[in-house]
Amino acid sequence: MTDTYPFVKTDLLTADESNLLAESNRIQMTAGDTINGATLPVPCYFNDADNEIYAADADDIATTDPYIGFAITNSTDGNSIIVQTGGVVSGFSGLTEGAYYYIQGTAGTIGTAVGTVEKCVGVAISETEINMDLKPDGMEYISSASDSGGNNLTAPAEARFAIIYIDLVSGASVYADRGDVILSKVGKTTSRFTGTGDGAGGGPKNDIQFSWAGTTITVTLNAGGTDSADYTAYFYR
């Protein structure tokens, strides 16, 4: 895939479409499907196979060509469409000012929760506008959650990473181990902490495992060696 997306020769543009192309971050391309970007801007990707534009979704964008911007006009398969690749795009409603927006699992939609594959499209600067050039810089702390004894943890929908601090107790409180693990919503979704002490009477070592799926972090204790555990997860996006 090249860094420069091709202009295409299709049907003549209307006067309104020609005016839209006056801005340098808007390009004329060809739609590969029905896209109604004039009604509501639609996040899209460029398909190398047919050189056409399709609505993007976070469930399969990793296996397709990358997201490139918002379609801002209406079109159908094989016809011209205008895509905005940067700057401020308008035409939305009900946005939360200051919130980052991401491509969702339903094709052509955006929301504040991170999708299956994370792709931020920008930050809302009003209820109707997104600045496409503003993206998250590094990790941002969101919140924390604590529990004990093998109870599961609930993660915020927008969380991408979790750092979990652990305090384990083994056997008859003969040994105690403390440590931490790191999880990611996509990638390293499971992590295990094994302590150094064994349970009373030489039982198995302290052991606790965390597995992240959706908004649930499942906690599994080693029943043979870990009698109890306290843990706190710190969530980031």
- Where does the pLDDT of residue 92 fall: very low under 50, low under 70, confident under 90, or very high at 90 and above? very high
30-87 per-position pLDDT tens digit:
999 999 999 899 999 998 889 999 999 887 776 656 789 999 999 999 999 999 999 9
- Write down the pLDDT at residue 225: 57
- Where does the pLDDT of residue 203 fall: very low under 50, low under 70, confident under 90, or very high at 90 and above? very low
Average pLDDT over residues 83-102: 93
Identity of the residue numbered 92: F
- Where does the pLDDT of residue 135 fall: very low under 50, low under 70, confident under 90, or very high at 90 and above? confident
Identity of the residue numbered 97: E
Chain region(s) in the chain for CATH 2.40.300: 15-131
Q: Which of 227 and 5 is assigned the larger pLDDT?
A: 227
CATH class of 15-131: mainly beta
Residue 115 tokens, joined: 């999708």
Average pLDDT over residues 150-154: 92
Q: Which of 226 and 194 is assigned the larger pLDDT?
A: 194
What percent of the chain has pLDDT above 90? 41
